[in-house]
Structure 1
Amino acid sequence: MLKTIHGSALPWSAIAEGFVCGTEQVRFASAAQGIFKPAQMRGVLSVKTVVPKPGGRVWYHDQLESDAKLATATDTLAYAFKGTNPDDPQNRLLRGAMDGRLPIIYFYGVAPGAYEPIFPTYVVDWNPSDLSVKLAPKPVADQATLWMPPGAEERRYALRQVKQRLHQSSFRERVVAAYEGRCALSGLPELRLVDAAHIIPDSDEELGQPDIRNGICMSKLHHAAYDADLIGIDPDHHIHISERLLELHDGPMLELGIKGLKGQVIRLPREDQLKPDPERLALRFERFKKAA
């Protein structure tokens, strides 16, 4: 069974493990190929979008091409051919998936080594002049409708849902990776107990984007306290605790886990381009002071 890292993203190790069909082990995808057909199948099983490892830095901020395409998509997702030859066998597999109305899995990379599976997804346009296809997720499919690609209205609805999920997942994965999987306040290193906290809520259209600099990795406890303005972080990265919590006396978790953080400096990513945006921190800290 596929297992998530945190949120709903899958580690590559789970995808590479595959599944058992009869007596054979079948892979879900290939590390070397974006368009994948297992030897045991006649048609394509999956496609994937890879997020490069941090060495290239292209997965930070809005530099990732797939993110830019996702932002402007309205009813389908563009997926590039392999190379420049439309008649390459792998590209013809995509044409076969469209002609056969074949449901496939789209493993969308949200961080290095982490993928969101989108299923069922259908190839609804094969365009050799643009060297690309259009992929359309379907919101719901059962045995009776699995071989029926979504209509126009279904495509728009499904893509809205997928975009929200992908934005949330990519934001979480990238922020947690920037902080090396540790809570910036307590140092807790357990991936299943940390979140990516927004500095400016995503409801703010101007500054609430899922930019890595709009996030801080926090344990679920500290994330909840931060969202409730019971914890504040100033532009110099110092931790502030609301008077409401400081006046409470109720066990070691409160005393050590929250109140004991007052005045400390949060743990920061090693590289400057990953650190919290000072402008966002200042705006959010003003909100904390008003709440206090």
Structure 2
Amino acid sequence: MLQNAQSVSVRTSDALTQGNIYSRAQLREMFDISDATINTGVFRPKGHDSVWLFVTERKTADRTQYEDVLEHDTLYWQGQTSGRTDDLIREHQQRGLELLLFYRHAKYEHPGAAFRYEGPFAYSSDEGRNPVSFVLKREHADLMAATEEEAQHSDAFDPQSIEDGRKRIATDIVRRRGQPAFRHQLIAAYGGRCAITECNVVDVLEAAHIYPYRGSETNVVTNGLLLRTDIHTLFDLGWITINADDYTVTVHQNLRQSEYGQWHGKLLKLPTSASMMPSREALEWHQSETGKQG
């Protein structure tokens, strides 16, 4: 259990992985929750500096038909008709609370009526009453913008920080490449070549999970692809997917006029061992859950 009577306030995001699927039952077990209000749309887990939003885009007929939709990094979300939690949403940052989004398109989109964890969001604006219509922004988008702004106006150079900088860079590279043992297995399975581009520069090849990482049980070769860094990013974002029927690459039409268009329709470079072939079920899940529409 991650919480007990003696625990101090911590952020629940430290124990969650963005992109993973969590049911309310799993969250109850993870955080030792017995409070029945976890079944509502806005929940504050006891002993944690977090607020959880459970949002279903397409509601069942027996539910209040709030108008909620996630568009890229922006959530358009209506608060409760009673308005009891409106100030909690508006003031979450002032109160030192993170606002975490669990999102699904429909109730049974995932097994166990689970949600996809989208990560931290921040209050942006609101209008109207009963219910209030909120606009919430994904936090990393604001962080990236602030970081870019800071970098643009920073000219300082400190030679003493170079060694620390090298360590941070090395750590970041290892983290992006994936768990070392998992990556080494994929390098062996795919002969040290990117499964899509066949690039053989090992330093830029990463271990990509097809189904998101959920502990060691997902670190298996059949749930992975060896991909070049940029291809890995596009795969995770759903701009590139793999057809489970014939293992061909699908590049979203918005990218087909770019340099990535050359890989559209290409047959995936597959492991020679049948036992290491990527899981068709995992590829189907990835294409349906992350693939861009259009």
TM > 0.5: no
Shorter chain as normaliser: what TM range?
0.3 to 0.5
TM-score, normalization by structure 2: 0.38
TM-score, normalization by structure 1: 0.38
